Amino acid sequence: MGNVIEVRALAKIFGDQSALENVNFQVEKGETFGFLGPSGSGKTTTIKILTGQLRPTSGEAQVFGLSSSSLKNREYRKKIGVLTDNSGLYNRLSIFDNLKLFCDLYNVPVKRIDEVLGLVNLTDDKKKIVAKLSKGMLQRVLLARTLLHEPELLFLDEPTSALDPANSKQIHDGLRRLNEKGTTIFLTTHDMSEAETLCDRVAFLNKGKIQLLDEPKKLRRQYSDSSITLELKDGREIVLPGGVQGAEAIYKYLSADQVVSIHSNEPTLGDIFVDITGRELV
Ligand SMILES: Nc1ncnc2c1ncn2[C@@H]1O[C@H](COP(=O)(O)OP(=O)(O)OP(=O)(O)O)[C@@H](O)[C@H]1O
């Protein structure tokens, strides 16, 4: 597939504080890659370096084969979209008119507006005035704006923080549709369920260092104790070991028609993060 992002021995020091230390990872074309870590772990610093807003202290961050010193370049900026929390929208204008202004500014045909509004599920709302939008809708308008020029690579810094579950789901659906169309997505979050639903691979960042990097499914399997929980009709919940011993017990309860549900006890990404770092992801 080829790598869109290649980061080698990346370090960033602010004054006497180390924000990133020996960070190494690659993001493949078409992948949704999650950068997970608690507040202050270095997620935004990484995005700023990858989008040419900050220079690394040492190491290399290449995107589309361009080195970090070239990431301010115009051609590069055309290929990327960056979703930030600074709105820059005109409150008194409609969603459509706001997006039209950006089309004019970036030389994008106006017909693209309907495509991006479809992607973020706002087609029926395009005449609404920005000042009257909910936080979730506003975030979707910002995502739509980010997509107007059809970026190949999308950087999203905490795209659903402060959104309720329904609005987060709308954003997630839009991101999945984009990814299916081939857009590579680099996402930072401290929301583990967001990472589980969206990401092909995740890196756990703690105090500026990557602690673990793999597919969520593989991580959950690797850190699973293979035990199984049975919920029984008499209200009991029993935890059984995996293997033959567990299978025999499950068979016994099933034969006696006592089972309501059976599920494996795989840890969540949040559990694994706490396990590895001793820290909660907040
Ligand atoms: N411009 C700056 N000057 C000095 N220190 C900074 C600067 N930017 C970031 N830092 C420090 O670098 C570390 C990493 O910050 P960063 O914003 O990358 O973390 P983060 O993981 O994005 O956190 P959050 O989830 O709260 O946004 C923090 O300790 C932060 O205080």
What's the gap in Å between 43 CA and the centre of ligand 1? Answer: 8
* Residues whose CB is less than 8 angstroms from the CB of residue 21 and which lie 6 or more positions away in sequence, other chains included: 11, 208, 209
Q: How far apart are CA 277 and CA 207, in angstroms?
A: 10
Q: What does the pLDDT profile of the chain (282 residues) look like in tens digits? A: 689 999 999 999 999 999 999 999 999 999 999 999 888 899 999 999 999 999 999 999 999 998 888 877 878 888 999 987 666 899 999 999 999 999 998 889 999 999 999 888 899 999 999 999 988 888 889 989 999 988 999 999 888 887 788 888 888 988 998 899 899 999 998 888 889 989 999 999 999 999 999 999 999 888 887 788 899 999 999 988 878 888 888 899 999 999 999 988 888 888 888 888 877 666
The answer to whether residues 238 and 255 touch, using CB atoms and an 8 Å cutoff, is: no
Choosing from 10, 13, 14 the residue with most ligand 1 atoms within 8 A of its CB, the one to mutate for a pocket test is: 14
Give residue limits of the domains in the chain: 3-220, 225-265
| Nearest CA residue ID for atom 26, ligand 1 | 39
**Is the CB–ligand 1 distance for residue 170 below 6 Å?**
no
Give the tens place of pLDDT for each residue, 127-178: 999 999 988 888 889 989 999 988 999 999 888 887 788 888 888 988 998 8
Which residues are within 8 A (CB) of 271 and not within 5 positions of it... i.e. 6 or more apart?
223
CATH number of 3-220: 3.40.50.300
| Residues 282, 273: Cα–Cα separation, whole Å | 11
